[in-house]
Amino acid sequence: MGSPLLQVAQKPAVYLVVLGEAPDWFVQALENGLEEEGIPCEKRDSQENDAILAASQAAKASRINVGLSVKAAAGGAITGVVLHHRDLPEKRPLFHLTWEEVSQESLYRLGRNAARLVKGNPFIMDPADTAGPCGDSGTKDKLN
């Protein structure tokens, strides 16, 4: 029996896997970034426990070859956010944000970059280029 990611009907969307109980605003920031670029997102389940492998599996399952994962520890503390593409080596994601790098703005930008990967557009690397509905705020305070 294959992965649950592969058993679902295929719609063109970036697949997002949430491992653990991530705060809703985390997922919303990623979704807002994708929506800003006009690319749909679908949440998927995974039996994987590793955020990098979960994102790789999501990318392989997605018709548009891009997957995201968020891993949260008990209590909702985020331990990693990963953007992966189907053609990359399984253990080498395109972007991997650690706890120290995560903010509402960085998640929004990662969502936009996931969409830009689909569209073949240049990535947004400068935080000043991500002005959008999320804005920025030292959001790590929101996690505590």
Q: What percent of the chain has pLDDT over 70?
A: 82
Q: Is the pLDDT of residue 102 over 70?
A: yes
* pLDDT for the residue 77: 79
Q: Is the pLDDT of residue 8 over 70?
A: no
- The structure tokens listed for 73 are 């520890």
Q: For 57-84, what is the mean pLDDT? A: 92
Q: Is the pLDDT of residue 41 over 60?
A: yes
Q: What percent of the chain has pLDDT over 90?
A: 66
* Axis-axis angle for helices 24-36, 104-119 (nearest 10): 40
Span of 1-5, 17-21, 62-66 with lowest mean pLDDT: 1-5
Q: What is the 3-state secondary structure (H, E, C) of the chain?
A: CCCHHHCCCCCCCEEEEEECCCCHHHHHHHHHHHHHCCCCEEEECCCCCCHHHHHHHHHHHCCCCEEEEEEECHHHCEEEEEEEECCCCCCCCCEEECHHHCCHHHHHHHHHHHHHHHHCCCCCCCHHHHCCCCCCCCCHHHHC
**pLDDT confidence band for 7 (50 / 70 / 90):** low
* pLDDT for the residue 6: 54
Contact 6, 46 (CB under 8 A): no
* pLDDT for the residue 22: 87
**pLDDT confidence band for 3 (50 / 70 / 90):** low
Q: For 82-97, what is the mean pLDDT? A: 97
**pLDDT confidence band for 141 (50 / 70 / 90):** very low
Of 62 and 5, the structure prediction assigns the larger pLDDT to 62
